[in-house]
Structure 1
Amino acid sequence: MGVSKRHADPTAGRTSRHVPPPVLAAGALGAQVLLSEKHERTKRAKAAGTLVAAGSLLLMGGAVIEFQPYHTTVNPKTMDTTTLVIEGPNRFTRNPMYLGLAGLLTAHALWRRSWSALIPVAAFALVIDRTQIPAEETVLQQRFGAAYERYRATTPRWIGLPRRN
């Protein structure tokens, strides 16, 4: 289920330095390599990392697949955002793709068996949470109004149980 609307781009004419989230994630991955020592992988570390990576890929892939029938974009800051997608993984988190990227970084830390490799995961989540997500939420609020407010009131930004409104 989705809520469709077409509006003019509320961000048109604004200039800002925007680093795409996948680039931020790649930077966090590089920081993980630099900050942590790679320890010998154990069966447990491989299994834990693989489970977290698989779950993260399913979360991200499921979200992308959910967007396809609506012919909308995964980037809500573009004029192509025509539908508020609230099904699939978006029922449990408003940001399944960012949660998935953070999960992949966590999986990498598990594979490396390094506590210090979790620092870039936290930094990535903090930057996304304080810069990217608020900008996207502003656009979604402007485009979808009350429908977005209902969604926001019942679905956690990152992870948790959906709330009843």
Structure 2
Amino acid sequence: MPKVPPPVYVAVGLVAQHLLSRGRRPTMARSLAAGLVAAGSVYVAGSAARAFKHKDTTFNPLEPERATAVVTDGPFRYTRNPMYVGMAGLLTAHAVFRGGLLSFVPVAAFVAVIDRTQIPAEEQALSWGFGEAYESYRAATPRWLGTRR
């Protein structure tokens, strides 16, 4: 399992966005758009946390083997990784707020790192722990939004 908590990647991404967009001032339109994206992202991640709590299972991404249930309701109906979607959304909101195309590079880097390191390790642990129940969910629900894998 990767040993870096995903929120650390988000924090690094926020710092990188700040450095990549120095001197850019947010406009009212960018501020409003960023606020809407951020609110939606917090809602998605918060809904995922509530779904985990409702099933009384862990959502510690560094210990997926401690999961006691496969969560398939709430935002998990649309993506297997709503918390990562929420984190990517927060980075996207900050990129919109900061302005400039370079501000989106950390968003892409976050998605790539999480998609290639964190999620496969979690999926392996969940598949091992829940077998066909998880595999059926995995086959029916996209990893991100609108993608199948």
- Name the TM tier (shorter chain): over 0.9
**Residues 109 and 38 from structure 1, CA distance in 2 versus in 1: closer, same or farther, beyond 3 angstroms?**
farther
Say which of 10, 17, 20 aligns to 1:35. 20
The structure carrying a bigger helix percent of its residues is 2
* 1:142 correspondence with 2:128: yes
Displacement of 1:80 in angstroms is: 3.0
Aligned to 2:42: 57
Displacement of 1:146 in angstroms is: 0.7
State the percentage of identical aligned residues.
53
TM-score (norm 1): 0.84
Aligned to 1:67: 52
Displacement of 1:39 in angstroms is: 2.1
List structure 1 runs of 4+ shifted beyond 6 angstroms: none
User: What are the residue-to-residue correspondences of 1:62-101 with 2, within 5 Å?
Assistant: 62-75=47-60, 77-101=63-87
* 1:153 correspondence with 2:139: yes
22-31 or 52-61, larger mean C-alpha shift: 22-31
TM-score (norm 2): 0.92
* 1:111 correspondence with 2:88: no
Q: How many equivalent residue pairs?
A: 147
Structure 2 unaligned segments of length 5 or more: list them. none
Instruction: Provide the C-alpha distance between the structure 2 equivalents of 1:161 and 1:139, rounded to a whole number of angstroms.
Output: 21
2:35 is aligned with what amino acid? Answer: T
